[in-house]
Structure 1
Amino acid sequence: MSLKSDFAITRHLNFIFPWRSYQAKFLKEFDTHINDGHLHVIAPPGSGKTVLGLEMIRRINRRTLVLCPTLTIRNQWNDRLQNCFLKDRDAVSCSYNLKEPATLTFSTYQSLHAFFKNEMNASSEALINFFKEQDLAHIVLDEAHHLKNEWWIPLFELKKIENGIYTSLTATPPYDSSPRELRNYFDLCGPVDVEITVPELIKENNLCPHQDYIHFSKPSKERIKYIQEYREQLHHFVTALTLDETFIKIVKNHSFYTKTNEVLPDIYENPERYSAILIFLNASGIIISKEKLEVLGLDEKEQEYIPNFSYKWVEILLQHYLIDHREHYLEEEAVLVAIEKKLRQIGGLDQKRVNLIGEQRLYKSLSQSTTKLNSIFEIIKTESEALGSSLRAVILSDYIRKEFLELKKSQLSDLNKLGVIPIFQHLRYSEIAEHDLAVLTGSLIILHSSVIEVLRQRTADGDLTWEQLPDSPYLIIKPNSVSKTKLIGVITSLFEDGFIKILIGTKSLLGEGWDCPAMNTLILASFVGSFVMSNQMRGRAIRVSPKSPDKIASIWHLACLDPTVKNGGADYKLLQRRFEAFCGVTLAGNPVIENGIERLDLDVNADQLSELNEHMVHVAKNRKNVKQRWDEAIESGSVMVNELKLNFDDNKPFAVKRKVAYNSTLKYALSEIVLVLTVVLPELFLSYLRLLIAKGIIHFIVAVAAAMAVTLVPKLYRATKLYLYYGRIDKEIEAIAKVVFDTMVRLKHINTAPDQIKLVIEEPKVGILNCFLKGATEKEEKLFVKYLQEVLAPVNNPRYVINQADWLREKLGFSSCFTVPEIFAQRKKEASVFYEFWKQYLGTSELIFTRNLEGRKLLLKARFNELKKDTHVKTKQATIWK
């Protein structure tokens, strides 16, 4: 992309400090990254994102608008510009006013939205014309994960500016947002060009060594009873639904069931609804006819493959009848009203969405469990014993809960919510030194009376007043003339200097933007917010501290386990998802740096909660070991590699599977041959002696061969099938990876010379395959992993699919449908390139366009086929230091 401008920003801006190695590496490849008109950088807090952004502004050399989520961050951009790039402050004109932009304009997302709505009358044309007139062609999005729904509109309109460039800087993309929001994010910001990683920052002493821990708790007996009753009610509701003759009749009268062949186009447009109807009727004991099964790709003998009537299918079915198309069933209103009433009674309706799984409801029940208060106390006790007077612990929660402010010790059992004040009250009445505790929120500040004199020395007379918290040594601080920002700074200094050792606050105040390098222990008692916020909060703890150069940080997460399920329940499930957003060093075994909760090597079981916590407390006390493990892990690698991790259900090594299957094949073949030679052949000789004499040797050989086939072939077939199947899994994945790679090279999604890149497939653990590119750029790695995951994921609703079906594959169970990645499926020309490589590596197949009747027919069969598979593979994008 050509970078031309009349504004000589390049001449007047110059970074006056040396670049860190990871920053220099990115800037070295700047020209490659800018080719698509996007620069997208992910970097943790403390990595120098702002100065990197200013350097990109310098190199792009155009009038620029920098958009930030808050005024504080907006002002930081100008501060960094003045202090790190400009010798002459008047050399480059700057503005905070969107109406009067300068060479560099610093503003907020809110201001742009208001400007678009009020000044431009929400006119896209007017907005674009204004930016063209002002020659604003470079838009910088800082902390772009903050974007709200209404802010998308003007930003996407600005992408229509000819030769415009978008630069996006963030600590964490919103990976846990809805698919639509995540798509919007990447459509706006473009693919990730570079991710500055934690190991690089620790290696250069820009972040401190740290470790994540989890402290587990169980819900109270009352909560457990609530969960059990909720699940029992759900079970009874679903069972009753399958026995409700009136509702069964309503479903059987649906045109999808009564006129299947006549409404096939509608069925292929709504495959999940058709599946839900058949699955419900099957659960109700109805025999499904051949013509209806064939639509799903089943024959009349395969009704057993119809899945159970799980909550997912209940939701799809009832969403249709109760919400989306209620107006079509006015004659059945009485029946539907009765079902809706029962559904509401058990909490299965969430506004206009049927939600039987109850994830939000169960999650709320677990995440707010007050048994986490005991976890917080145990963590503080552990860290206090390990660090003594050096302890600087911050506990972040979501809500203040002022209603518990005057709680007495005898009323502790009344604490029924998690929040800042409940945590404060629980700790002050425990074995924690009272003078160590303080509360810092936007509307409530509490300090121990022993600290007040130091506070007065650091503020001016009349800046603040205070009142006693009844029956306690604590004071509620009330600012008068001093600003809230200044007071927060003073209290932060008290914490850094050790007058306060345990600070309890809200994530909204302390979770993002608050800078306190002295913090060495963080407890995340927050249950609201995305893992974008989780990562931001972690970022507060892992900053290096000039006053404590040997700082090692502990980050504690809280999880309330659901003892009624095997996987830990909704609270732990969310925590697992959040761990995907950041990397760390493994807790045991060989030190490896990777993302995901697997690095903690936990066998989570509510029945072994005490053992889990004892283990966590034991390893957390050995802080020196954390530093040693980071050093060893960093030494063993040089870069974070993006890979696709494939986890198979049975967790058995592929080599073992092949060996077992091969041995079985050999065993069956040899045993059958011995059996034929010693038993079958003599018996056949005697039995067919007359045939031999009468018909001759040819007829005799045919008869013997037929008899051998009857006994030999079935077992040999099964063993051969196993051998071929297990011998193909990793080989087939390798072939598919080659298809993706070669297509990317051909279509110029990979610009690195192919002979410099190595495709690697390894089996690091039992039942797991990792696939990645070695030697490609980070952007190329990420795109390769993304595209490969699309191919291997269950078919959803792609534009093109490849049907890998022939007689032999079908008989051996290999008949499969694979998604053509979206980026290659936008035009038939690109899809055909992908298909040509597919045929080269995987043989006979068919490229099918799914936006017609035949294509949708195949899609439905492919999606349903996933439901009846014996084995499944789970894929996830992972990062690991290698």
Structure 2
Amino acid sequence: MKHFPEGITFRYSWRSYQQRILDQLDDHLSNRHLHLVAPPGSGKTVLGLEVMLRLNRPAFIIAPTLTIKNQWADRFRELFLQTGQLPEWVSTDIKNPAFVTVTTYQALHSLYKTAEQPETDTELELTRETEEEDSGNMLDEEAVNGTREARRIQESIRSMSFQTLILDEAHHLRSSWWKSAMAFRAELQNPAIVALTATPPYDVHQGEWQRYMELCGPIDAEISVPELVRESELCPHQDYICLSLPNQEEFEPLRVFRQQTGTLRQELLQDEQLKKAIEEHPWIGRTETHTEDILTNPSYYSSMVIYLKAAAYPAWEQAAAVLGVSGSEVPELTDEWLEELLTGLLYRDEEADQRHHAYFDALRRRLRGIGAAEKKKVYLRSTPQFDKMLIQSASKLRSIRDIVSFEHSNLKEELRMVILTDYIRKESFPDATGKTKPLTRLGVVPIFETLRQGLPEEMPLAILTGSLAVFPRDCGALMEEAAARRGLSLEYKPLPFDDRYVSLDIRDSNRSGLVAVMTEVFAQGGFRVMVGTAALLGEGWDAPCINSLIMASYVGSFMLSNQMRGRAIRTQKENQDKTAAIWHLACVDTVLPEGGRDLEMLSRRFRALVGLAVDRNTIETGMRRMNILQDRYEHRDIESLNQETFLRACERHRLSQRWIDAIALHDHMTEELASDGERVPRPLYMQHTIRGLIYAGIVALILTAIEMFVSPGMIYGDMPILMKLAVSLIVGLIAGAGPLYKGIRLYMKHQSLESSMAEAGQVVYETLYGMKLLTPKPHKHRLQASMEAGMVVCRMEGGSTQEQLLFLDSLQQLVAPINNPRYLIYRESRAGLLTRRDYYAVPEAIDRRKEDAERFYALWIQRIGPAELIYTRTTEGRKMLLTARLKAMSASFVPKSERISAWR
């Protein structure tokens, strides 16, 4: 069989955005490659199957999980073949490949891993994750028994001559899985690659991104969330954040810890031995001869200088002066800087430890004694253990109870809520006598118990994980009917502590079927709140009835956050007016700036989530749209912010219109950079202006002096005196016209902060275009900058998402604190007796070649003004780089810019 049988077609009409992709398919596949990015619920699987049919060649499909693998086969059978059974030329078993073969990345890796082993009759066992992490959905059952079988299967696969390779959600690939996928692709003869994903791994490090791109290729087309909402393929939805404060039992040990570290800090500032150890350090005593060493760890060196200044030890002045850093530029000693200092001295600086071992050893023991040292790092504000405690805080259980109660009061019987978390924690169930246990951490069972004990009986609950299922006894008949339709028999027993509920045995063999059964009964209303694990239900699970989701998971990554949220925002055919609420939880540390680690993790999650801003009609990513960010939180702030959140959540009826209004304002997604403007390069137009005025004044003065005192009447004849002065001034202004023109031109270009950002962006853009890294030609309207919510926002119009990301990455590096660039832009400006020195990094994509850096520099001179280009790999250049890095390390650090996606 070399081609698909005739007559296979999609049974429904294509959605408009799907048709757009299919209309452009010939262009996309001209290089035998299609990489499509589209949110959950947009029909990527169906599109992939249609592309497979149009390519009309043997196809090999790889999915991330068993559930999604089965979905590919089911969608093809139901929507294209329209039969009750798969034909023999479609296989979901890698051991028996067919014309169309669907498998998982794990099964493919297992095959290649086994084939590479020495021949043996022993069975390869797939590594299984622990039950606690509930990874049942991620496991494949296609274990390969021995090397001989693996090689036989490989030979069978080669004989099929696959020419279409479909990669579904390839962002899942770990390093070893990626190698197996690449090896398999290399064995195919010029295959057409179709890569489909909802969440490209934009937030991974560059090496991992390059691996992903090597397998999937550049992104060809994208479908956006607003586009899908506009087409009624995703429902109107809103994110909400519910904040909590740690319990007294949680916060008390943290308070004691900070009291102890505060006492230690005061003692260290008076500690003569520590002062001496730092003063005698060769980086302080002989700074100029250790520039290279300091550049390897400038923050450590900075911490020494900052400590000596705080301790009023004069050695800091000379060390700072050598690098051109004045006293006012040396920041205050914060806990962050003291952590950096102590970590360096006690755990990384072997030479310093040898000279002061006895003292350092005693200090290490003291830090360990109060819990301030862990894994060779010093913590004075919070520790990983305390951070984890707050992330898993029992206060979130109260938040969940409040949210469930609130949603139930609003939606009543229509509520279909799912709560996703990371751990099961079966030990939190009451014992056989019904005696309850303290609920001190997040988990499936603690959440279930919080709701079971704290909500009315008419609120039916359920649990669904890879190894545990619980449902109300009253819906047993619905469960058995749904199971019978799937050929399953259910075995369940009452919970010993509450006969209103029964537990169900889940095994590998029946897991997929039981998930479908419980999903059907959930949709029917047999239970209205279901608690499950993100590992099982967070990706690939299809339950369009969900209208409220609580993300009680610790996940902050771009990929998994978007996948979990995607469970709730799908449309429901039976409910055209469906809207969805997605609830996020955070436990706030009121002592730490910006709320602590949990809020930091939540901010990371929101970088991936496209949604409505709470206070304006914009659609974008990032935490700014939630309007809860503060430099520091007080107890009363938490209560006030939560009250505002619940009031907004009462306005579900407005969601549809708000989405309509926001979508109508614009027509596409674009990538943006939001910065507070602190590092945006402003022109030094005053220098040109002053120079021009000086030239004009000198020329006018000379002419006037000649006319008035040296040779009266020689130049102007018998003109009136005022006329002579006016003519002298005009001639002077003409003489100074060059500098004056430059100053006026720069002023006109940089009248506002956003115009300066646009000019800086033009320098970056034109350089990248000259390097052939951007394709749209430079144009005055190509870059847009504006002030929004106190931030300078810059965006690039046109180009692919990857081109926009490259441009914004480069612009972000320009306005960010200096790290370790090969080239620097340096400039000086004077105001009276003071001299200001500014340093900017030439972006990484540009500074690899001297020619590109010089092109960037020439454009800088043209658009922003005078400066110097410094190559940092010389001795003098390294010294300037060190000075630049030290200047960037202020007490509060320079506020970081933020990358966002927005509907524009």
Taking structure 1 as the reference length, the TM-score comes to 0.80
What secondary structure sits across from 2:454 in the alignment? coil
Deviation at 1:496, TM superposition (A): 0.6
1:108 corresponds to 2:134: no
**Partner in structure 2 of residue 49 of structure 1:** 44
Paired letter, 1:773 = M
User: Measured at CA, do residues 496 and 104 of structure 1 come closer, stay the same or move farther in structure 2, by a change above 3 Å?
Assistant: closer
Instruction: Give the conservation status (yes or no) of the 8 Å contact 2:346–2:353.
Output: no
What secondary structure sits across from 1:815 in the alignment? strand
User: Measured at CA, do residues 250 and 147 of structure 1 come closer, stay the same or move farther in structure 2, by a change above 3 Å?
Assistant: farther
Instruction: Give the conservation status (yes or no) of the 8 Å contact 2:381–2:592.
Output: no
Q: 1:250 aligns with which of 277, 292, 299?
A: 277
1:209 corresponds to 2:236: yes
Q: Deviations over 1:789-844 (max 9, x none)?
A: 1222112112x323231455998766322222222233333333333322322233
**Partner in structure 1 of residue 577 of structure 2:** 550
Structure-2 separation of matches of 1:529 and 1:601 = 19
1:364-513 aligned at under 5 Å gives the runs 364-406=388-430, 414-434=438-458, 436-460=460-484, 463-478=490-505, 483-513=510-540
Instruction: Give the conservation status (yes or no) of the 8 Å contact 1:757–1:775.
Output: no
Q: 1:636 aligns with which of 665, 673, 677?
A: 665
1:335 corresponds to 2:359: yes
What secondary structure sits across from 1:567 in the alignment? helix
Structure-2 separation of matches of 1:137 and 1:293 = 64
User: Measured at CA, do residues 458 and 203 of structure 1 come closer, stay the same or move farther in structure 2, by a change above 3 Å?
Assistant: same
Bigger CA drift: 163-172 or 257-266? 163-172
User: Measured at CA, do residues 434 and 214 of structure 1 come closer, stay the same or move farther in structure 2, by a change above 3 Å?
Assistant: same
**Partner in structure 1 of residue 171 of structure 2:** 145
Q: Percent identity?
A: 36
1:103-252 aligned at under 5 Å gives the runs 106-120=102-116, 140-154=166-180, 168-174=195-201, 177=204, 181=208, 185=212, 192-252=219-279
Q: Deviations over 1:403-455 (max 9, x none)?
A: 22126999668222222222222222224235612222222222222222332
Q: 2:17 aligns with which of 17, 22, 44?
A: 22
**Partner in structure 2 of residue 68 of structure 1:** 63
User: Measured at CA, do residues 751 and 856 of structure 1 come closer, stay the same or move farther in structure 2, by a change above 3 Å?
Assistant: same
Instruction: Give the conservation status (yes or no) of the 8 Å contact 2:434–2:497.
Output: no
Deviation at 1:262, TM superposition (A): 2.7
Q: Deviations over 1:74-129 (max 9, x none)?
A: 3434454566677999999777677997776544333444445442469xxxx9x9
User: Measured at CA, do residues 237 and 104 of structure 1 come closer, stay the same or move farther in structure 2, by a change above 3 Å?
Assistant: farther
Bigger CA drift: 734-743 or 446-455? 446-455
Structure-2 separation of matches of 1:540 and 1:462 = 27
Deviation at 1:484, TM superposition (A): 2.3
Deviation at 1:317, TM superposition (A): 3.3
What secondary structure sits across from 2:595 in the alignment? coil
Structure-2 separation of matches of 1:155 and 1:462 = 38
**Partner in structure 1 of residue 567 of structure 2:** 540
Instruction: Give the conservation status (yes or no) of the 8 Å contact 1:644–1:876.
Output: yes
Q: Deviations over 1:230-264 (max 9, x none)?
A: 22233333333343333333333333223333333
**Partner in structure 1 of residue 729 of structure 2:** none
Deviation at 1:286, TM superposition (A): 2.0
User: Measured at CA, do residues 55 and 740 of structure 1 come closer, stay the same or move farther in structure 2, by a change above 3 Å?
Assistant: farther
**Partner in structure 1 of residue 619 of structure 2:** 593
Deviation at 1:355, TM superposition (A): 4.3
User: Measured at CA, do residues 810 and 111 of structure 1 come closer, stay the same or move farther in structure 2, by a change above 3 Å?
Assistant: farther
Q: 1:849 aligns with which of 851, 871, 874?
A: 871
What secondary structure sits across from 2:226 in the alignment? helix
Paired letter, 1:42 = V
1:600-619 aligned at under 5 Å gives the runs 600-602=626-628, 605=633, 606-619=635-648
Structure-2 separation of matches of 1:523 and 1:292 = 53
Number of aligned residues? 807
Taking structure 2 as the reference length, the TM-score comes to 0.78
What secondary structure sits across from 1:47 in the alignment? coil
Instruction: Give the conservation status (yes or no) of the 8 Å contact 1:594–1:879.
Output: yes
1:264-303 aligned at under 5 Å gives the runs 264-288=291-315, 292-298=319-325, 302-303=326-327
**Partner in structure 1 of residue 767 of structure 2:** 743
User: Measured at CA, do residues 562 and 853 of structure 1 come closer, stay the same or move farther in structure 2, by a change above 3 Å?
Assistant: same
**Partner in structure 2 of residue 788 of structure 1:** 811
**Partner in structure 1 of residue 125 of structure 2:** none
User: Measured at CA, do residues 182 and 625 of structure 1 come closer, stay the same or move farther in structure 2, by a change above 3 Å?
Assistant: same
Q: Deviations over 1:142-171 (max 9, x none)?
A: 323323344455567789999888654332
RMSD (CA atoms): 4.4
Bigger CA drift: 415-424 or 459-468? 459-468
Bigger CA drift: 472-481 or 419-428? 472-481
1:776-855 aligned at under 5 Å gives the runs 776-798=799-821, 800-806=822-828, 808=830, 815-855=837-877
Structure-2 separation of matches of 1:830 and 1:158 = 38
Structure-2 separation of matches of 1:346 and 1:137 = 62
Deviation at 1:737, TM superposition (A): 0.9
- 1 or 2, which has the higher helix percentage? 1
Structure-2 separation of matches of 1:308 and 1:358 = 20
Listed as ranges, the gaps of 5+ residues in structure 2 are: 119-150, 694-743
Structure-2 separation of matches of 1:809 and 1:165 = 63
Structure-1 separation of matches of 2:783 and 2:647 = 41
1:313 corresponds to 2:313: no
User: Measured at CA, do residues 293 and 812 of structure 1 come closer, stay the same or move farther in structure 2, by a change above 3 Å?
Assistant: closer
Instruction: Give the conservation status (yes or no) of the 8 Å contact 2:539–2:564.
Output: yes
Instruction: Give the conservation status (yes or no) of the 8 Å contact 1:156–1:188.
Output: yes
Deviation at 1:187, TM superposition (A): 6.8
1:525 corresponds to 2:520: no
Deviation at 1:51, TM superposition (A): 3.6
Paired letter, 1:513 = G
Q: Deviations over 1:533-567 (max 9, x none)?
A: 22211111111111212111111112222233453
Listed as ranges, the gaps of 5+ residues in structure 1 are: 1-5, 670-719
